[in-house]
Amino acid sequence: MARSTLPRLTLAIALGALIALWADRGAGARPNLPPPPTPDHDFYVANVAPWVEAKCVECHRAGGGALRLTPPRAGLDDAARRKLDFEQIAKFVNPMAPWESRLYLKVLDPGDGGDPHVGGAFVRMDEPEHDTLLDFVSGATPKNLPPEVYLGEDSFRVKPGDEITLDGRDSYDRDREDMENLAFYWTLKAQPPDSIVALSDRRASRLQFKPDTGGSYVVELRVGDGKVWSAPRSIAIEVFDYRKVKQADPGGISGLEKVESERLTQIRRLYLDVLGRPPTPPEAISDDRIGVKRLAETILLRAEAGRAWYEEVTVRFGLIGDFRPASDEARDLPLRIPSAMPSPGEVERVLVLDPSFLRRHPPGRSLAIAIGELLFGRPPTQAELDTALKLAAGESVMRGDVELTSERQWLREITAEEDFERAALARRVERFLPSGDARRAVPKAWIALRERKGAWRRFQIEVLQSPRYRKRKTLRLKDDLTYVRSLFYDLLERKPTERELAALLHAVGQMPGDSAPLAVLAKVMIDSGEVPLPLLVRIKDAPRWLKDRFLRYLGRRPTGGELKAYGEALLHPQGGVELVVQALVTSPEYACR
């Protein structure tokens, strides 16, 4: 009996393994990997604690900043104190994105991408202390350094029907030079609503992937060294039918004169309202041949649309810099927006329930003000103030038939209510329509959201291709975030980093006045020497160059009087190229969208 049973058992096991492998390779498989490693106490004691005690204790044991290190006290030996310090420091590490950990960014030199820090910068990327700190936040132990994913660019664009090859072979294990033992796992994190494509081979080092419809896809890679799996890295793939346009020389004639004025206005409006920035000249020229409806559809599905909306809400809630959202759901939100098309209430709910919201708006009066002003656009009610103060004092509060015992529970109750959903919807609709049109459109949008799946996506497309949107005449003042983004794209011809945005928005917020801080920012950028502007002697056709600058910054051609006045300023001994550019980007018209 034993002889006949063994082969059947072996076959069953083999078939089970084969089925499991096939399921893992199939369309519906989800990763079954452990989370990335967390900070290790022994590695901290051996490699990081001496550095912390030399650099950080003077401020952070005295109560400076959010990090509170343990002061010496009777009965507390060095080992116990270091353990308490480690527990505090570990709270400032993000295992899902170690390179974004507050602990790491706060001590990194701003020139290398670090955050502003009252105590100053302590490490640069070319110093050995930097590698030790990055190893620590990545979950290194005395016996193993976790592997690192490397994908090169974090986004790229292809045409429908193109097959894509994503290459993870430059990922590495810091413990060894031989990469043959690295394991790979790819996940399709987001895809357009109509897409049914699946990854063919999740465990390959090079992934071949053919999108089945236009829109934005996000693919994530983790690598393992046999001991631990790395934190994930993602790459966004935008699939649209676009025309490649040659990039003009920095500071040169852009070619926008080829685009008809009304069409350029429509393209700029879509970019500024959905992506929060103006189009680059190549984008405007390429999009000139796409119909209004198709352009509205594709721009909403771009990965950048999700990032832009996410940034706008986090800036509004004050969740930038030290208060970056930290939950996995919040980190995935920019990827979900263009693919799953969540409603405005869903987007804002994720960020309100993130732990960073309560850190930014702590219990008590500050939280009540945030609830009233940020969530509902009004001063807090007396009931909200009373509830906030009681919860902060440790008391429970009855709200209807629900007993509230914590601020987080209160926020969950608020964000589940219809009033919150409606307020979030109204804020988003007002991004696209004048206030009167928005008020009339919100009830229709609300009914659609409650009745039909995918209604929010269809509603946005209807708005963006509607005559009332395309023929909107009223200029609308740019918010600070859109203005800063616009300066980067128009002057520096690149997008700002997250840390640049946080630092500049903080600086603008500290200066008095409404328009003056933005004008100062524009002047600082122009004077930085980083703006690619031609020398006056190299401008062969001054009228054409001036027309190009009007098209690039204002989206229109200059009048005859403007051309004459700006031409005189360009050639005046006290004028010049910088003065003309500064006048355009600090004008009231540029401040609007």
| Residue type for position 313 | V
Per-residue pLDDT, 307: 92
Question: Encoding tokens for residue 454?
Answer: 């995918």
Question: Distance between CA atoms of 107 and 312, rounded to whole angstroms?
Answer: 27
Evaluate if residue 414 carries a pLDDT over 90.
Answer: yes
Nearest in space to 354 (alpha carbons), one of 330, 333, 376, 373: 330
For 484-496, the pLDDT digits (tens) are 999 999 998 888 8
Cα–Cα separations (whole angstroms), residue 82 to 39, 57, 497: 14, 12, 35
Q: What is the DSSP code (8-state) at residue 279?
A: P
Domain coordinates in residue numbering, the chain: 41-137, 147-239, 304-470, 480-585
Q: Which residues contact 18 (CB under 8 A, 6 or more apart)?
A: none
Q: Which residues contact 268 (CB under 8 A, 6 or more apart)?
A: 278, 279, 284, 555, 593
Question: Distance between CA atoms of 216 and 193, rounded to whole angstroms?
Answer: 10
For 96-139, the pLDDT digits (tens) are 889 888 889 888 888 788 887 877 778 899 888 899 999 999 99
Q: What is the mean pLDDT of the chain?
A: 85
Q: What percent of the chain has pLDDT over 70?
A: 92
- C-beta of residue 465 within 8 angstroms of C-beta of residue 296: yes
Question: Encoding tokens for residue 493?
Answer: 């011809």
Class of domain 147-239: mainly beta
Sign of CA dihedral 202, 204, 209, 215: positive
Question: Distance between CA atoms of 306 and 466, rounded to whole angstroms?
Answer: 22
Per-residue pLDDT, 515: 64
Q: What is the mean pLDDT of residues 320-347?
A: 88
Evaluate if residue 22 carries a pLDDT over 60.
Answer: no
Torsion, CA 306, CA 311, CA 317, CA 319, rounded to 10: 120
| Residue type for position 261 | S
Q: What is the mean pLDDT of residues 542-561?
A: 94
Question: Distance between CA atoms of 313 and 348, rounded to whole angstroms?
Answer: 7
Per-residue pLDDT, 248: 66
Per-residue pLDDT, 4: 35
Angle at 526 between CA 525 and CA 527, to 5 degrees: 90
The residue behind tokens 């801080």 is 517
Per-residue pLDDT, 16: 36
Evaluate if residue 346 carries a pLDDT over 60.
Answer: yes
Per-residue pLDDT, 461: 87
Evaluate if residue 546 carries a pLDDT over 80.
Answer: yes
Question: Distance between CA atoms of 192 and 186, rounded to whole angstroms?
Answer: 18
Q: What is the mean pLDDT of residues 418-445?
A: 88
Domains 147-239 and 480-585 share a fold: no
For 144-197, the pLDDT digits (tens) are 999 999 988 777 888 888 888 999 999 988 887 656 689 999 999 888 878 888
3-state secondary structure of 403: strand
Question: Distance between CA atoms of 57 and 51, rounded to whole angstroms?
Answer: 10
Question: Distance between CA atoms of 510 and 519, rounded to whole angstroms?
Answer: 14
- C-beta of residue 184 within 8 angstroms of C-beta of residue 33: no
Exposure class string for 138-166: b at 16+ Cβ within 10 A, else e: bbbbeebbbbbbebeeeeeebeeeeebeb
Question: Distance between CA atoms of 199 and 25, rounded to whole angstroms?
Answer: 7
- The radius of gyration computed from the CA coordinates of the chain, to the nearest angstrom, equals 27
For 362-371, the pLDDT digits (tens) are 999 999 999 9
pTM, two decimal places:
0.83
Q: Which residues contact 421 (CB under 8 A, 6 or more apart)?
A: 343, 344, 345, 446, 449
| Of 484 and 240, the one with more pLDDT | 484
Per-residue pLDDT, 178: 58
Cα–Cα separations (whole angstroms), residue 353 to 98, 330, 346, 365, 420: 22, 9, 11, 18, 13
**Which band of pLDDT confidence, cut at 50, 70 and 90, is reported for residue 582?**
very high
Residue count of the chain, please give it.
Answer: 593
- C-beta of residue 229 within 8 angstroms of C-beta of residue 33: yes
| Residue type for position 87 | E
Q: Which residues contact 366 (CB under 8 A, 6 or more apart)?
A: none
For 468-521, the pLDDT digits (tens) are 887 777 778 888 899 999 999 999 888 888 778 887 887 777 776 666 777 888
Q: Which residues contact 115 (CB under 8 A, 6 or more apart)?
A: 102, 105, 106, 108, 321, 322, 499, 502, 503
CATH number for domain 480-585, candidates 1.10.3130, 1.10.150, 1.25.40, 1.10.3120: 1.10.3130
Q: Which residues contact 83 (CB under 8 A, 6 or more apart)?
A: 41
Q: What is the mean pLDDT of residues 11-18?
A: 35
